[in-house]
């Protein structure tokens, strides 16, 4: 039953295989490209096996009122869109998903936009969007009887994997680039009991080491090359459409690192359209940090047809990735949807992050590239003021508190990086002042700063 419901299709050569036949590194044995999950039943010519759009919408909404553990997950609530497990007792959930879609009131006013929202995936159990993909892929690992799971990570994947593995009673191995991830994320991996190895290399180097290990040992790979991760990560697309009464925004703006998340969300919208849940898909644009911008460069040089890896450098450590695995899938989503890919500077990221903070939401720096990118898209007319926009915020502000504190203390950016943005930055900075422990001193300080 399991194999009739879903199978894997190579994005490069189109080869179709049974899910259980994939190699440990999830690369196609014909061409080396990545797989995507597909659901053959959905393609039946007479439409008899296709899930009914109206019935799905009703069922998914009903489940929101249910107390069943799987219904309370914003991922498993949409299980008709996921690879079916043989036994749902294998599903490992922390009640992820169901994240808020917040209107951004001040930012929309400043940009002159009528409808601007943030889908805050940082409001997931471990504080990032990775939970939505981890619940689906780690459940697969459990069903297949693996005792160990592993990932290479810039921090968030490892935090999510470690938490879900702990819930499932499984062991987890984390490879992270030494000194290049935010402390909050490293702390999570330790707290949830992962075996954490800091390697003297970058993220791309960690991926290489882990790919060798999973080929030799019975360890299940949970990086985003694992197609089952993307199935969970597409569910925020369903939530966005549901929250907008099954219409979609004109634009969805997503940060780009290893480029799996943009691919997953694009797949979610594509599948909803195929099944008649929505009538069009939003333009999906991917924003990278200028110091880690292989896809943005690829769009300038070859319209996204080929990619040259770069040596990545950005303080938005989550997206410090120079050789993104899912670039071909992301390029397809951008082309299909009519979106674009561009990059933003360190100062633009820092300013955007402080503006998201000032809305009472906050995010980690990698998420703020979305707002920095939106400003450019509005300025050059690619986003019109009458259009609706959703920014996908991928991580919680507490993930990288050092970055935030450095920004507000004025120690984050080099003068060269901040040049031209000094007054904008000064207006957003809220340093913590040392004040005498008397009411008079506090009131005096209040008066001084409001002058
Ligand atoms: N935003 C955050 C907060 C992330 O942690 C990541 C990726 C991205 C954006 C980019 O998503 O890779 O799918 O394009 N973090 C990974 C990790 C690589 O290991 O946690 P992507």
List pLDDT tens digits, range 127-168: 999 999 999 999 999 999 999 999 999 999 999 999 999 999
How far away, in angstroms, is 441 Cα from ligand 1 center? Answer: 44
Range of the domain at 288: 101-125+231-428
Which ligand 1 atom is the nearest neighbour of the CA of 160? Answer: 20
List pLDDT tens digits, range 179-212: 999 999 999 999 999 999 999 999 999 999 999 9
Task: Write down the pLDDT at residue 45.
Answer: 64
Task: Write down the pLDDT at residue 324.
Answer: 97
Task: Write down the pLDDT at residue 154.
Answer: 95
- Tokens 């994240």 correspond to 99
Share of the chain above pLDDT 70, in %: 98
CB atoms within 10 A of CB 157: 27
Query: Average pLDDT for residues 113-121, to the nearest whole number?
Result: 97
pLDDT band at 87 (very low <50, low <70, confident <90, very high): confident
Task: Write down the pLDDT at residue 85.
Answer: 78
Domains of the chain: total: 1
pLDDT band at 1 (very low <50, low <70, confident <90, very high): very low
Query: Average pLDDT for residues 215-221, to the nearest whole number?
Result: 98
Task: Write down the pLDDT at residue 47.
Answer: 61
How far away, in angstroms, is 258 Cα from ligand 1 center? Answer: 7
Indicate whether 2 pLDDT > 80.
no
CATH number of domain containing 324:
3.40.50.1100
How far away, in angstroms, is 213 Cα from ligand 1 center? Answer: 22
Q: Which of 290, 303, 313, 305 is nearest to 202 (CA)?
A: 313
Structural domain contains residue 374: yes
Structural domain contains residue 30: no
List pLDDT tens digits, range 346-396: 999 999 999 999 999 999 999 999 999 999 999 999 999 999 999 999 999
Indicate whether 3 pLDDT > 60.
no
Q: How many residues does the chain have?
A: 451
- Ligand 1: residues whose CB is within 6 Å? 128, 130, 153-157, 224, 255-261, 318-319, 364, 366-367, 394-395
Structural domain contains residue 61: no
Indicate whether 117 pLDDT > 60.
yes
Mutate which of 237, 258, 287, 398 for ligand 1? The one with the most ligand atoms within 8 Å of its CB, which is 258
List pLDDT tens digits, range 154-164: 999 999 999 99
Supply 74's token pair: 């914003």
List pLDDT tens digits, range 64-73: 999 999 999 9
Task: Write down the pLDDT at residue 84.
Answer: 75
- Stretch among 1-5, 282-286, 405-409, 441-445 having the lowest mean pLDDT: 1-5
Structural domain contains residue 118: yes
Mutate which of 229, 319, 371 for ligand 1? The one with the most ligand atoms within 8 Å of its CB, which is 319
Mutate which of 254, 261, 322, 400 for ligand 1? The one with the most ligand atoms within 8 Å of its CB, which is 261
Task: Write down the pLDDT at residue 404.
Answer: 98
pLDDT band at 48 (very low <50, low <70, confident <90, very high): low
pLDDT band at 450 (very low <50, low <70, confident <90, very high): confident
Structural domain contains residue 241: yes
Q: Which of 159, 192, 2 is nearest to 88 (CA)?
A: 2
Alpha-carbon distance of 18 to 8, in angstroms, equals: 6
Query: Average pLDDT for residues 15-43, to the nearest whole number?
Result: 93
Query: Average pLDDT for residues 52-73, to the nearest whole number?
Result: 96
For the CA atoms of 415, 353, 359, 263, the dihedral, rounded to the nearest 10 degrees, stands at 160
Q: Average pLDDT of the chain?
A: 96
The pTM for the full model equals: 0.96
Structural domain contains residue 214: no
Structural domain contains residue 393: yes
Share of the chain above pLDDT 90, in %: 94
Task: Write down the pLDDT at residue 257.
Answer: 98
Structural domain contains residue 242: yes
pLDDT band at 43 (very low <50, low <70, confident <90, very high): confident
pLDDT band at 50 (very low <50, low <70, confident <90, very high): confident
């Amino acid at each position: 039953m399991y194999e009739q419901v879903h199978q894997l299709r190579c994005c490069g050569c189109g080869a179709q295989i049974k899910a259980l036949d994939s190699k440990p590194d999830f690369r196609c044995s014909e061409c080396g490209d990545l797989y995507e999950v597909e659901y053959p039943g959905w393609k039946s010519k007479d439409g008899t096996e296709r899930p009914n759009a109206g019935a799905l919408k009703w069922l998914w909404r009903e489940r929101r009122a249910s107390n069943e553990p799987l219904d309370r997950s914003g991922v498993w609530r949409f299980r008709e869109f996921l690879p079916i497990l043989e036994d749902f007792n294998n599903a490992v959930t922390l009640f992820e998903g169901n994240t808020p879609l917040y209107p951004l009131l001040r930012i929309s006013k400043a940009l002159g936009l009528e409808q601007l929202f943030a889908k805050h995936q940082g409001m997931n159990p471990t504080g990032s969007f990775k939970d939505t993909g981890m619940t689906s892929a780690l459940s697969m690992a459990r069903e297949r009887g693996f005792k160990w799971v592993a990932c290479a990570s810039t921090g968030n994947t490892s935090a999510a994997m470690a938490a879900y593995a702990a819930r499932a009673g499984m062991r987890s191995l984390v490879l992270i680039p030494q000194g290049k991830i935010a402390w909050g994320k490293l702390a999570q991996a330790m707290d949830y009991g992962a075996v954490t190895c800091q390697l003297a290399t970058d993220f791309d180097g960690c991926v290489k080491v882990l790919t060798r290990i999973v080929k030799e040992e019975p360890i299940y790979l949970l990086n985003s090359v694992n197609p089952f991760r993307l199935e969970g990560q597409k569910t925020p697309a369903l939530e966005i459409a549901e929250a907008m009464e099954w219409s979609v925004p004109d634009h969805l703006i997503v940060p780009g690192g290893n480029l799996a998340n943009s691919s997953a969300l694009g797949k979610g919208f594509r599948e909803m359209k195929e099944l008649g849940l929505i009538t069009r898909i939003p333009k999906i644009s991917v924003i990278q940090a200028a110091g880690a911008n292989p896809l943005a460069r690829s769009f300038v040089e070859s319209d996204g047809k080929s990619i040259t890896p770069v040596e990545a450098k950005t303080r938005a450590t989550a997206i410090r990735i120079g050789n993104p695995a899912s670039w071909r899938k992301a390029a397809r989503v951008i082309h299909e949807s009519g979106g674009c890919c561009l990059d933003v500077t360190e100062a633009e990221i820092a300013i955007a992050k402080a503006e998201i903070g000032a809305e009472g939401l906050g995010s980690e720096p990698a998420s703020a590239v979305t707002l920095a990118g939106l400003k450019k898209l509005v300025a050059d007319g690619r986003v019109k003021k009458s259009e609706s926009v959703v920014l996908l915020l991928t991580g919680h502000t507490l993930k990288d508190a050092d970055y935030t504190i450095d920004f507000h203390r004025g120690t984050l950016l080099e003068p060269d990086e901040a040049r031209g943005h000094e007054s904008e930055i000064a207006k957003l900075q809220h340093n913590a002042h040392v004040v005498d422990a008397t009411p008079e001193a506090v009131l005096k300080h209040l008066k001084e700063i409001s002058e």
